[in-house]
């Protein structure tokens, strides 16, 4: 019988593994496998694991439901607490978000306690859902000098780099509990040194390694490759002494005084993270175009994500719920605003509801007047705003072409508009995103007004959050008046009555040439030979350094990198060849011992190839949003 296990703090698991002898560490992976299936939840809330007749491990989580101290995990065997049973039970439990730093004495009117460094990681895991804010109103203040990294931060970054390099060289096949524990210990040291972003990146890598080794259905090797790239980049740059606030991160979200604001609702969307958090975020827009959001995210998972759509808005005594705010507005006095545009509920904040307005009126109208290609190009123009790039919503009018594989193919409703792919913003089957897109796909030629988040890892892909009718078009959605011209795809289900009758469809479904078959949709990422570099990097993540070294032997490199050079991608070819050569470089002394056992050279070569690939693919994605007069997209990076 499988029992839900309490989350375990990373430092508790790391300490338990470190206390094992070398002989016991070799047995840890086998002892952990299947351990969760034997867990039993007791009446007092503890969870027990039986190992033979004389060993009983008990996990007693604290009030928050998490094992945060070593004393909360006990074993009855003679070797406890340095026993294999205790470490295996802790390793079978999910990783908890890191504990917050010591609380400060008070929170001023302009500051609110943010989630912990690790809890921020869980929010970051759902950052694509919580999204949104780019520019702030008013001129930016003078830049403050960036403080230099402390000796503790430099040491923590160097230790994290070394642990990440060892994990990359091992790969998924050899990245068992011991390798993961080294990463967790380095991540804990990074948190204590004040490097929350590095810690969050390390936790994502550990969770990805666990998912890969357990062969979970939600695991994607590409996601784990991206997590390794971010971890190595963050740790490597910090270890070199670069004091960039964007790389160190913050474990507290500062809220500054925003004065008086008037904001109008755009839409709401559910938030569902991989670490058990759920809730809602409502996106708002000011008359000057500044973007804001109000989120309500707490532990609770899917149930809370579904129910929070009608939860009350905890802001200045406002009497609206999130459903009303998404179609209404607020006049706020004494507002507090974070750098990301989140509105805080500090003391002294007062809010008064405002009547709602459709997308065609007010500040939302300019969102749909700008071509989607221009909006995406503006997002990609400043690499420093990576967080905003991944979360900002853009709007466009589209014409439905039809379903194509796992996505819905549409064409932007403007002369020679590009073909776009619509994917569910949240693919969970219990949320209505997928079902709504499936219904829309049944109406080719339907004109839609879409508000969504561009997926910058795919060619011309948009993840819609809300849709509405196109003004003046007969063959478009017919939504109830109380919806004010938009439907939140994460909370409202489109029915047959919301679609027009078939006899109102126009014979031509788009400006210029009609929509081509879905199979003819151009995909510069799929057509580019860059997939060879991506496969090599993912091979290294899955099989480790040894698997990459195999690619350097024989004539395989010539066959693999020739197409890259013929396509003009000589930089990618050179970096891939250098990675394969470095993986196979294992110098030995006269006694057959490794002369240079450090994985640093291999990690740097892998990171260089991964960074170049990410930039090249991002260029291809940007090009896919721009169509030529013939309707084909450019495939050159």
pLDDT one-digit tens code per residue, 299-327: 888 899 999 889 888 787 777 889 999 99
In terms of Cα–Cα distance, which of 382, 372, 385 is closest to 451?
372
Residues 322 and 308 sit within 8 Å (Cβ to Cβ):
yes
In this model, does residue 120 exceed pLDDT 50? no
The token pair that represents 160 in the structure block: 């994290």
Express as a percent the part of the chain with pLDDT over 90: 48
**What is the predicted pLDDT for the residue at 249?**
77
Residue 397's DSSP bridge partners are 449
Residue 395's DSSP bridge partners are 451
Least confident of 249-253, 482-486, 570-574: 249-253
Q: What is the pLDDT of residues 214-237, one digit of tens each?
A: 888 878 999 999 999 999 999 999
Higher confidence at residue 389 or residue 381?
381
Residue 8's DSSP bridge partners are 67, 95
Higher confidence at residue 509 or residue 454?
454
DSSP 468-481: EPPTT-SSB----G
Q: What is the pLDDT of residues 21-30, one digit of tens each?
A: 999 999 999 9
Higher confidence at residue 11 or residue 562?
11
In this model, does residue 119 exceed pLDDT 50? no
535 pLDDT band, cuts 50/70/90, is very high
165 pLDDT band, cuts 50/70/90, is very high
Distances from the Cα of 176 to the Cα of 22, 160, 220, 421, angstroms: 14, 17, 18, 38
**What is the predicted pLDDT for the residue at 627?**
58
DSSP 143-172: PPPPPPPPHHHHHHHHHHHHHHHHHHHHHH
d(CA 467, CA 457): 22
Q: What is the pLDDT of residues 329-346, one digit of tens each?
A: 999 888 888 878 888 887
596 pLDDT band, cuts 50/70/90, is low
Residues 635 and 528 sit within 8 Å (Cβ to Cβ):
yes
d(CA 399, CA 152): 56
In terms of Cα–Cα distance, which of 341, 401, 396, 400 is closest to 374?
396
Q: What is the pLDDT of residues 537-590, one digit of tens each?
A: 999 999 999 999 887 776 666 677 888 888 889 999 999 999 998 998 877 777
Where are the extended beta strands (E) located within 66-143? 73-75
Using the Cα atoms of residue 331, residue 334, residue 339 and residue 340 in order, give the sign of their dihedral: negative
**What is the predicted pLDDT for the residue at 244?**
76
- Please list, residue by residue across 414-453, b when 16 or more beta carbons sit within 10 angstroms of its beta carbon and e when fewer do: bebbbbbbbbbbbeeeebbbbebbebbbebbbbbbbbbbb
| Neighbour tally for 236: CB within 10 Å | 21
Which residues fall within 8 angstroms of residue 480, CB to CB, at 6 or more apart? none
Taking the model in full, what pTM does it have?
Answer: 0.81
2 pLDDT band, cuts 50/70/90, is low
383 pLDDT band, cuts 50/70/90, is low
Find where tokens 């995909």 sit: 523
Mark out the alpha helices in 175-272 (DSSP H runs): 177-192, 196-213, 221-239, 245-248
Average pLDDT of the residues in 11-26: 94
d(CA 164, CA 158): 10
- The radius of gyration computed from the CA coordinates of the chain, to the nearest angstrom, equals 26
The token pair that represents 442 in the structure block: 């049944």
In this model, does residue 602 exceed pLDDT 80? yes
257 pLDDT band, cuts 50/70/90, is confident
d(CA 632, CA 499): 30
**What is the predicted pLDDT for the residue at 511?**
44
Element (H, E) at 402: strand 394-404
Using the Cα atoms of residue 611, residue 617, residue 621 and residue 627 in order, give the sign of their dihedral: positive
In this model, does residue 116 exceed pLDDT 60? no
| Neighbour tally for 351: CB within 10 Å | 25
**What is the predicted pLDDT for the residue at 346?**
74
- Mean pLDDT comparison of 34-38, 178-182, 521-525, highest-scoring range: 178-182
Q: Cis before residue 81, ω within 30 degrees of 0?
A: yes
Classify burial at 381, counting beta carbons within 10 Å of its beta carbon; exposed 0-12, middle 13-18, buried 19 or more. exposed
Higher confidence at residue 106 or residue 426?
426
**3-class SS shares of the chain: helix, strand, coil, % to 5:** 40, 20, 40
Higher confidence at residue 64 or residue 519?
64
12 pLDDT band, cuts 50/70/90, is very high
Q: What is the pLDDT of residues 72-114, one digit of tens each?
A: 999 999 999 999 999 999 999 999 875 543 333 223 333 333 3
């Amino acid at each position: 019988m499988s029992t839900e296990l309490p989350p375990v703090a990373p430092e508790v698991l790391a300490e338990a593994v470190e206390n094992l002898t070398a002989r016991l560490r070799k047995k840890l992976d086998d002892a952990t496998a299947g351990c969760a299936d034997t867990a039993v939840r007791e009446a007092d809330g503890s969870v027990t694991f039986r190992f033979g007749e004389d060993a009983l491990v008990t996990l007693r989580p604290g009030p928050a439901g998490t094992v945060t101290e070593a004393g909360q995990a006990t074993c009855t065997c003679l070797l406890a607490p340095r026993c294999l049973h205790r470490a295996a039970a802790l390793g079978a439990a999910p990783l908890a978000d890191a504990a917050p730093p010591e609380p400060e004495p008070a929170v001023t009117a302009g500051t609110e306690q943010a989630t912990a460094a690790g809890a921020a990681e869980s929010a970051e895991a759902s950052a694509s859902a919580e999204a949104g804010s780019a520019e702030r109103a008013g001129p930016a203040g003078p830049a403050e000098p960036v403080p230099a990294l402390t000796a503790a931060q430099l040491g923590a970054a160097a230790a994290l780099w070394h642990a990440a390099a060892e994990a990359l060289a091992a790969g998924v096949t050899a990245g068992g509990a011991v390798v993961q524990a080294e990463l967790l210990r380095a991540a804990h040291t990074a948190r204590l040194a004040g490097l929350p972003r590095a810690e969050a990146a390390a936790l994502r890598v550990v969770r990805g390694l666990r998912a890969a080794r357990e062969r979970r259905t939600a695991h994607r090797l590409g996601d784990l490759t991206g997590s390794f790239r971010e971890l190595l980049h963050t740790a490597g740059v910090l270890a070199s002494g670069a004091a960039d606030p964007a790389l160190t991160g913050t474990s507290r979200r500062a809220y500054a005084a925003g004065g008086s604001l008037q904001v109008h609702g755009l839409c709401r969307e559910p938030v569902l993270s991989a670490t058990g958090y759920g809730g809602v975020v409502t996106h708002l827009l000011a008359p000057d175009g500044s973007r804001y959001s109000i989120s309500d995210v707490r532990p609770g998972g899917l149930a809370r994500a579904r129910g929070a759509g009608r939860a009350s808005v905890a802001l200045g005594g406002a009497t609206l719920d999130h459903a009303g705010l998404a179609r209404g507005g607020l006049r706020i006095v004494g507002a507090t605003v974070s750098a990301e545009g989140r509105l805080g509920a500090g003391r002294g904040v007062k809010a008064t509801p405002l009547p709602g307005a459709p997308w065609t009126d007010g500040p939302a109208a300019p969102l749909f007047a700008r071509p989607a290609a221009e909006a995406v190009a503006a997002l990609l123009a400043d690499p420093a705003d990576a967080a905003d790039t991944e979360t900002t919503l853009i709007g466009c009018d589209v014409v439905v072409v039809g379903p194509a594989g796992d996505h819905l193919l549409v064409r932007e409703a403007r002369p020679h508009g590009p073909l776009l792919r619509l994917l569910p913003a949240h693919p969970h089957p219990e949320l209505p995103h997928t079902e709504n897109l499936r219904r829309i796909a049944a109406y080719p030629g339907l004109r839609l007004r879409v508000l969504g988040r561009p997926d910058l890892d795919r060619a011309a892909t948009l993840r819609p959050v809300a849709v509405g009718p196109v003004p003046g078009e007969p063959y478009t959605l017919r939504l109830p008046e109380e919806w004010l011209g938009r439907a939140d795809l994460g909370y409202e289900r489109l029915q047959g009555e919301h679609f027009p009758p078939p006899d109102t469809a126009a014979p031509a479904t788009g400006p210029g040439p009609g929509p081509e078959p879905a199979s003819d949709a151009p995909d510069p990422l799929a057509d580019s030979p860059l997939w060879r570099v991506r496969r090599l990097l993912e091979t290294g993540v899955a099989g480790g350094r040894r698997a990459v070294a195999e690619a350097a032997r024989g004539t395989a490199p010539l066959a693999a990198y020739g197409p890259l050079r013929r396509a003009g991608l000589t930089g990618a070819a050179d970096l891939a060849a250098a990675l394969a050569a470095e993986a196979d470089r294992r110098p030995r002394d006269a006694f057959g011992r490794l002369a240079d056992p450090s994985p640093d050279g291999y990690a740097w070569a892998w990171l260089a190839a991964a960074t170049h690939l990410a930039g090249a693919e991002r260029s291809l994605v940007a090009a896919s949003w721009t169509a030529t007069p013939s309707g084909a997209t450019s495939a050159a990076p």
